[in-house]
Amino acid sequence: MCKKLVIAAVAILVGTAVVKHTTIGSLAQVWWHDAKQAIERQVPPEVQIKQLAVEVGKIDADIKRNLSKLAQQEVDAQRLGDDLEGLKETQATLKAEITAMTKSLENSTEKVSFNGKNWAASRLARQLDGTVAKFERTKSEVKTKEKLLTNKREALEAAHARISEMSAQKEQLRDKVAELQTRLELARLNATRNHATVDFDDSQVARCNQLAGEINDRLARDEKEVDLLTQYGYGTARPKAEETKPTAEVLKAAKKALQDDADRVASEK
């Protein structure tokens, strides 16, 4: 069983190496790239915009994590600054002691006075030697911590600048999401308007014109049929539409009728 597992593992490793270092591997990468692009093209734009909005929202979490790290760096830099100030105070104290001891030793050979006490010159010399060594160590430590503090402060400034840039880019991306949403809404509104115009021109008006033509043809056919039936003795002629006489002719006839009636009455008397 173990032998089979080993053989299978070796086969997988060999197959992976072959795919990675041969043309088959290149083809597989091309196929994968094409398939990935095809899938991405099938995703609706509104879904991609929502995805972008979600990803932009994650920037806040990144900024907060960076701010947490930055807070710790601020505390470390403050502590280092406090230590450095303490070392500088110690250095100043040691320097003052060295100056005082040196002055005392220069003014005497056997007995010296230092800090209100009498010292043997040899003992004070040993004390001075130790103080000088401590002073040199302190001075070296101050120099090292000054450089370290400078580096920390520069790193803090760069971190603050980076976080400010992240925040500005986040706001720009939020504006971009809003812009994309507006563009999508306008595109869909324009598409709806264009579609509605096509439906109106090609359907409703066309149907009305077709129906009017059918009614006209049917009435003309019915009228012709009545005329033919009458012509061949199967019906009565269609009543002709009454003709409208001119107004002047009607008035002339009316006046003539009144005059004739007036003449008749006069003759009867």
pLDDT at residue 41, as a whole number: 61
String of DSSP letters for 219-241? HHHHHHHHHHHHHTTSSPPPPPP
pLDDT tens string 90-101: 999 999 988 888
Residue 78, pLDDT score:
94
The distance from CA 240 to its chain's CA centroid, rounded to whole angstroms, is 78
Do residues 235 and 226 make contact, with C-beta atoms less than 8 angstroms apart?
Answer: yes
Domain total for the chain?
Answer: 1
Look at residue 113 in the predicted model and tell me its pLDDT.
77
Cβ of 131: how many Cβ atoms within 10 Å?
Answer: 19
Q: How confident is the model at residue 200, as a pLDDT?
A: 43
Q: What percent of the chain has pLDDT over 70?
A: 63
Rounded Cα gap, residues 40 and 16, in angstroms: 27
pLDDT surpasses 90 at 135: yes
Please indicate, yes or no, if residue 115 is contained in any of the structural domains: yes
What pLDDT, on a 0 to 100 scale, did the predictor assign at position 199? 46
Largest Cα–Cα distance of the chain, in whole Å? 190
Give the model's pLDDT for residue 84.
95
DSSP state letters, 109-121:
SSEEEETTEEEEH
Q: Which domain holds residue 220?
A: 43-231
- Owner of token pair 């302190």: 138
Q: Decide: 62 and 165 in contact? Cβ < 8 Å.
A: no
Q: Judge contact between 171 and 57, C-beta under 8 A.
A: no
Residue 261 belongs to some domain of the structure: no
Most confident among 60-64, 229-233, 261-265 (mean pLDDT): 60-64
pLDDT digits (tens, 9 = 90+) for 163-186: 899 889 989 989 988 998 888 888
Contact indicator for 150, 43 with CB cutoff of 8 Å: no
For residues 114 and 42, the answer to whether their CB atoms sit within 8 Å is no
Total residues belonging to the chain: 269
- Give me the CATH number covering residue 104: 1.10.287
Is residue 256 domain-resident?
Answer: no
Using 50, 70 and 90 to split pLDDT, how confident is the model at 254?
Answer: low
Angstrom distance (rounded) from CA 111 to CA 133: 23
- Strand (E) positions, the chain? 111-114, 117-120
Mean pLDDT of the chain: 77
Residue 179 lies in a domain: yes
Least confident of 107-116, 124-133, 179-188: 107-116
Asked if residue 114 has pLDDT above 70, the reply is yes
Q: Which residue has the tokens 């450089």?
A: 147
Top-confidence range, 24-28, 96-100, 247-251: 96-100
Is 19 a domain residue? Answer: no
Q: How confident is the model at residue 201 (pLDDT cuts 50, 70, 90)?
A: very low
pLDDT at 154 over 70: yes
- The whole-number pLDDT of residue 92 equals 94
In which residue are the tokens 């115009």 written? Answer: 197
Question: For residue 2, what are its two tokens?
Answer: 């173990």
Q: Is residue 260 part of a domain?
A: no
> Which of the listed ranges 40-54, 89-103, 141-155 does the model predict with the highest average pLDDT?
141-155
Q: Which residue has the higher pLDDT, 40 or 83?
A: 83
**What number is the average pLDDT over the span 5-20?**
53
Instruction: Tell me what pLDDT residue 95 has.
Output: 92
Q: What is the pLDDT of residue 46?
A: 85
Answer whether residue 246 is part of any domain: no
Residue 62 placed within a domain: yes
Q: How many CA atoms, within 13 angstroms, populate the side-chain half-sphere of residue 201? A: 6
Contact 119, 112 (CB under 8 A): yes
**Nearest-CA neighbor of 58 among 182, 164, 166, 184?**
166
